Amino acid sequence: MKKFTAFLLTVSLVLGSAGMVLADETETEPTLTPEEKSEGVMTHEEYMAAAVDDEVTIETYVQAKQSWWEDKATLYTQDHDGAYFIYNMTCSEEDYDKLEVGTKIRVTGYKAEWEGEIEIAEGATFEILDGEYVAEPLDVTDLLGTDELIDHQNELVSFKGMTVEAKEDADGNEAAFVYNWDGSGQDGDDLYFDVSLDGETYTFTVESYLCDNTTDVYNAVKELKVGDVIDMEGFLYWYQGVNPHITSVAAAE
């Protein structure tokens, strides 16, 4: 009997060394790379192809937090394939504090569109996952005025060598920027300024919830002069056309 038991033990060891799973071995979940999605989660391509009002589930990474109030959070997020703007997601203040740049989240909600901006609508839910990814800004200067630009909607992007153009303030005077889109605001409100490239002029914004009047970018825009040539970074927001939310402004290199 002892010889037979020893024989079985020998067979078990040989099979195990050959790569077969023994009964007492524990299988583990596969580890996903930052580019991979969990089962049942949409790719960015599938998300963009979904119809407005369809339920969507995505995995993405926080790139900036725009605002929180009354248990609602608005986020700029991105993965390796594209970006997702998440509007008024259900979120406690405690959880909002955990959403640092690079944090991976799984979000379930409904796809929406507002004035050309594709987003996940108010009321989405989320969970925090293991993983981290921080996007590098993509230079889209050469895509301004082309149909390809919208393919990068909500991504972190950069613009190089653009010239500040004159706007008209509420009193009809020439200005490098105005408070609110029509000049009706005051310090602390959104900043709007015009920049040009190759004869075309575009309106860019410093969104005050994202970058308030204590931030470097807000104060940098207030110091701009018509004719300045600048480089910028920000999120490629859309409102009846391209309307980037700018997070960094500096003199052109």
Check the CA dihedral 245-154-93-54 and report its sign: positive
Query: What separation in angstroms does the CA of 40 have from each of 46, 57, 58, 190?
Result: 11, 8, 9, 39
Q: Rounded to the nearest 5 degrees, what angle is found at the Cα of 175, between the Cα atoms of 211 and 137?
A: 35
Q: For 44-132, give the CATH class.
A: mainly beta
Average pLDDT over the chain, rounded to an integer: 90
What is the reported pLDDT for 36?
A: 76
Residue predicted with more confidence, 226 or 1: 226
% of the chain exceeding 70 in pLDDT: 86
pLDDT per position as a tens digit, 81-140? 999 999 999 999 999 999 999 999 999 999 999 999 999 999 999 999 999 999 999 999
What is the reported pLDDT for 39?
A: 82
The two structure tokens encoding residue 125? 């839910």
What is the reported pLDDT for 37?
A: 81
Phi/psi-derived region of residue 180, left when phi > 0, alpha when psi is between -120 and 50, beta in every other case: left
Go through the chain and tell me how many residues it has.
Answer: 253
pLDDT per position as a tens digit, 43-59? 999 999 999 999 999 99
Domain residue limits, the chain? 44-132, 138-251
Q: For domain 138-251, give its CATH number from 3.30.70.1350, 2.40.30.10, 2.40.50.140, 3.40.50.300.
A: 2.40.50.140
Does 44-132 match 138-251 in CATH topology? yes
